[in-house]
Copies of this chain bind each other. A is one copy, B any other.
Amino acid sequence: MLKDYEPEKTLDKSEMAEEIKALREKLLGQQQLIRDAKIPILVLVEGWAAAGKGSLIKELISEIDPRFYHVASPSVIPEDEMRYPFLYPYATAIPENGKITFLDSGWMEACVRKLLKREITHTEYNHRVRQVNEFERQLRDGGYLIIKLFVDIGRKEQSERLSALLENVDTEWRVTREDLWQHREYKRFRDAYNDFMEATRQAAPWHILDGEKRKSAVYTALKCLVGGIEDALRDGRYTGEPFDEAFPLLEMPHLSDVDLSPEMDDETYKKQLKKLQGRLAELHNVIYRKKIPVILCYEGWDAAGKGGNIRRVAYPLDPRGCDVMPIASPEPHELARQYLWRFWTRLPRSGHICIFDRTWYGRVMVERLEGFCSEKDWQRAYNEINEFERQLTDWGAVVIKFWIHIDQDTQLARFTERQNTPEKQWKITDEDWRNREKWPQYEVAVDEMLQKTSTENAPWYIIESNDKKYARIKTLKIIVHALEKACEEKTGKVLGD
């Protein structure tokens, strides 16, 4: 497939220069339209070492106003130093609406190089290819324009370029040991690049550029970029269709069928609390040592007791290895990106525990009910979230999700108590009362969420919280059990224990 370059008109040197100039002017005119149409653009530039990826990007951005683009160069991090999921460097680098991010090497290089270096197995590689397809599709469906370029050069050309760089004291640092290794393994890389491109054409096509003809590569890249933008501006921001994927789902009861009567007396509570917190503290040491990432998700009715529950879980944990992440309404710079971005950027490093007080499930609850996203958006979200969570558990994370459940009477009693207790008044707002009125609609949404997103790898637990003590102990038990299991299972293979 390599050498199967983008078709080009036969142009002589001056015609080419003319065309490039015209394309640049077009791009210059497009930048404002992109902003108005709020289209975010991700340009992935992959290719051989010394193929000229950097120079190509330089030519692409040369006329664009710096307010409209950013160049990111995520480096390929060796597997045992990578404390984040595979997609993390890319998922956190996506542009906001109306802007362009150029990625100088990205997920392709990371997949291929790690496979050939045997840092990951073939199975892991295949998982990552699947993740890449999910990631690209999610971005596309979220309105992103993705342009993928591969800059190709032959083995002989690469040899000459590497030698030239090595001969100059000021440029020799540009050639890494990995580059030289790639050159020796040219053929294997060629095959692996081809395989990867073949496997990742679903959400966005690959454009292969002839890096040996610099001008022609610039010309083709500009054509892809300007053409892609033209199409996107004509068609408007894309919104993906909902789709079903066969995720193995756990059976969940409907909220109305949950028995909320369980209680716990004070003495049992205190005894159990102490025991479980002690065990959790011990486990945190193992988690840290074995570099297991842990993600605890809390959702629930207002006044269900999320905060107090979370505090009991966080208390025994070493604060240096544990973060509680309260999730409020998105800030403008967060709203301007795909909705999972603000969670990607908040993920814990491996070995750390992150407790999310509210989560990405806002998409299928408040955003659905308040119309903050379109119907297609939240309908698509069930699968997107399942994929996201599978990406987390593929990474090795323990992901547990709690729905802290109470009934309407209990909520009313707690609201009233908050209202009447001066120190607690800040906890109750008009919005809480408004949300309360929407209980039935929320219940439908929560039920649908629980049905569609309780997977074996990232299960939901409904926590009966009319009695907060019972709820806390139940939560702690579930966490302790899951962490014990993870610590036992953990062979250390993937995370480099």
Contacts and interface: CB of A to CB of B under 8 A. Distances in A.
Interface string A308-339: 00110011011110011110100111000000
A496 interface: no
29 contacts: A28-B423, A29-B423, A54-B319, A54-B320, A57-B319, A61-B319, A62-B315, A65-B307, A65-B326, A66-B310, A66-B311, A66-B324, A66-B325, A66-B326, A66-B357, A67-B328, A70-B323, A71-B319, A71-B320, A71-B323, A73-B320, A102-B319, A104-B319, A168-B285, A170-B286, A170-B289, A171-B285, A331-B331, A331-B333
A127 interface: no
Interface string A285-315: 1101100000000000000000100110011
Given A66-B310, A173-B289, A104 B29 contact: no
Interface on chain A toward B: helix, strand, loop, or mixed SS?
helix
A472 to B, nearest CB: 14
Nearest to A105: B320
The residue in A168, A311, A325, A357 that gathers the most chain B C-beta atoms within 10 A of its C-beta is: A311
A170 B170 CA distance: 47
Contacts of A35: 426
A32 to B, nearest CB: 4
A469 to B, nearest CB: 17
A311 B62 contact: yes
Interface residues of A, number: 49
A63 interface: yes
A205 to B, nearest CB: 24
B285 A170 contact: yes
A282 interface: yes
Contacts of A319: 54, 57-58, 61, 71, 102, 104
B170 A282 contact: yes
Nearest to A69: B324
A426 B357 CA distance: 41
A340 B158 CA distance: 45
Given A285-B170, A319-B57, A311 B28 contact: no
Nearest to A72: B320
Given A54-B320, A333-B333, 4 more contacts: A28-B423, A62-B311, A65-B326, A104-B319
Contacts of A328: 67
Nearest to A357: B66
The residue in A71, A307, A323 that gathers the most chain B C-beta atoms within 10 A of its C-beta is: A71
A261 to B, nearest CB: 29
Nearest to A165: B285
Complex A-B, nearest 4 residue pairs according to Cβ-Cβ distance, in ascending order: A66-B324, A170-B285, A67-B326, A71-B319
Contacts of A331: 331-333
B320 A104 contact: yes
Contact of A58 (B29, B67, B285, B318): B318
A443 to B, nearest CB: 26
A426 B289 CA distance: 55
Contacts of A58: 315, 317-319
Interface string A162-175: 00000010110110
A426 B333 CA distance: 21
Contacts of A28: 423
A286 B168 CA distance: 11
A458 to B, nearest CB: 22
A320 B57 CA distance: 9
Contacts of A307: 65-66
Interface in A461-496: none
A311 B67 CA distance: 12
A75 to B, nearest CB: 10
